Amino acid sequence: MMKKVCWFMPLGLILFLTVIIGCKEFGKVDQGRVVAYDKEKGLCTLIRDTSPDPKNPDYSHLPPVIYEIPKKPAEMGPEPKPGLRMKLDTQNRQITIFDPSAQNFNIITYTLIDQKENVEKENSLVFDKEKKQPKKFPVVDRDKKTITIYSKRQKILVTLSLPEEYFKRPDYTWDAGDEVRIYYKQEGKALRFMNISQTDIFKK
């Protein structure tokens, strides 16, 4: 969903300035999950988040949106990691992925092998305390036909099984791409690019 707001200004100040000089002076903000990133061409493709609730994103907007990344390095945050997993529905045991070839979503029902809930990012199941870094997910075992996924937002660690045909897909199919926030004035051209997944905006 395109948001006619100014980057990270307080809402009260935005409303005040909007009355004085008009919102169009500030440009627009877009946000979504990255499904493709071409560093050489400077292009980032994302599925727009259409939900007004940041705690419950809805990555269902089609077609995907393509942005040119900022020309100035200072306006560009960490490079985004692409992924094709849009939703992990543990209640209905379904995983939704974006299929680049079909340019559409694919909802797949899986067989549950194991599920652990309330798994914080510092938990030893997902964090290597010796190396002091997060463990790499997803873990795709093509011999056992299982995939282990960790959703940091949902705090869920799931091992699931899928039909053999799905194991021909690349590993990043089952990974969630980084969420990014883009400020722009001209459609398709980012003036500022923030990688929300890799940037702590509250860090002092």
Task: Looking at the structure, tell me whether residues 97 and 75 fall in a common domain.
Answer: no
Residue 129 in domain: yes
Question: What digits encode the pLDDT tens for the residues 77-105?
Answer: 899 999 999 999 999 999 999 999 999 99
Specify the pTM. Answer: 0.82
Residue 5 in domain: no
Question: What digits encode the pLDDT tens for the residues 27-78?
Answer: 899 999 999 999 999 999 999 999 988 788 999 999 999 999 998 889 998 9
Task: Looking at the structure, tell me whether residues 62 and 123 fall in a common domain.
Answer: no
Q: Which residues in 34-68 are b (16+ Cβ under 10 Å) and which e?
A: bbbbeeeeeebbbbbbeeeeeeebebeeeebbebb
Domains contained in the chain, number: 2
Task: Looking at the structure, tell me whether residues 89 and 140 fall in a common domain.
Answer: yes
Residue 117: domain span: 85-174
Strand 85-89 with 139-141, pairing:
unpaired
Task: Looking at the structure, tell me whether residues 154 and 133 fall in a common domain.
Answer: yes
